[in-house]
Amino acid sequence: MEVIVRFYGTYRTITGVKDFSLFTDETITIIDLISMLRMKFLKNNGEMFSEFPEGLISSSLILLNGVEINNIEGFESKINGDSEIVFLPINHGG
């Protein structure tokens, strides 16, 4: 399955990418995905994931297929099939 991760606002600057595709044969959770992203983007700037996971939820909206993860199962929300995950910082400009 393909998981598309989209970064907005300062997260785009921190990671250096707009979109990122991850391919996996397993069902993973949001917390699994964040662990993978932390390893990948730590060399760019670990700031986004530094207070993982609690700090991330207080400073971000994380959407799984358009639904905020706290309306599903939080960090234990399962990513099945082709999915889109969006990281949107709460304190962003307009």
Residue 12: domain span: 2-89
Q: What's the pTM value of the predicted model, to 2 decimals? A: 0.81
User: Is 42 a domain residue?
Assistant: yes
Given a cut of 70, is residue 7 above it in pLDDT? yes
Query: What's the pLDDT tens digit per position in 16-54?
Result: 889 989 898 889 999 898 888 877 776 655 555 554 445
| Highest mean predicted confidence (pLDDT) among 7-11, 50-54, 77-81, 88-92 | 77-81
Task: Give CA–CA dist 29/43, Å, rounded.
Answer: 23
Identify the weakest region by mean pLDDT among 46-50, 66-70, 74-78: 46-50
User: Is 26 a domain residue?
Assistant: yes
CATH label of the domain that carries residue 31: 3.10.20.30
For residue 76, the model assigns a pLDDT of 95
Q: Residues of the chain with pLDDT > 90: what percent?
A: 35
Q: What is the DSSP string of the chain?
A: -EEEEEE-THHHHHHS-SEEEEE-SS-EEHHHHHHHHHHHHHHHHGGGGTTTTHHHHHHEEEEETTEEGGGTTGGG-EE-SSEEEEEEESS---
Task: Give CA–CA dist 59/22, Å, rounded.
Answer: 23
User: Is 53 a domain residue?
Assistant: yes
CA angle 80, 44, 67 (to 5 degrees): 30
User: Is 94 a domain residue?
Assistant: no
User: Is 74 a domain residue?
Assistant: yes
User: Is 38 a domain residue?
Assistant: yes
Residues paired with 2 in a beta bridge: 23
Q: Higher pLDDT residue, 67 or 80?
A: 67
Q: Residues of the chain with pLDDT > 70: what percent?
A: 79
Looking at the structure of the chain, the number of domains it has is 1
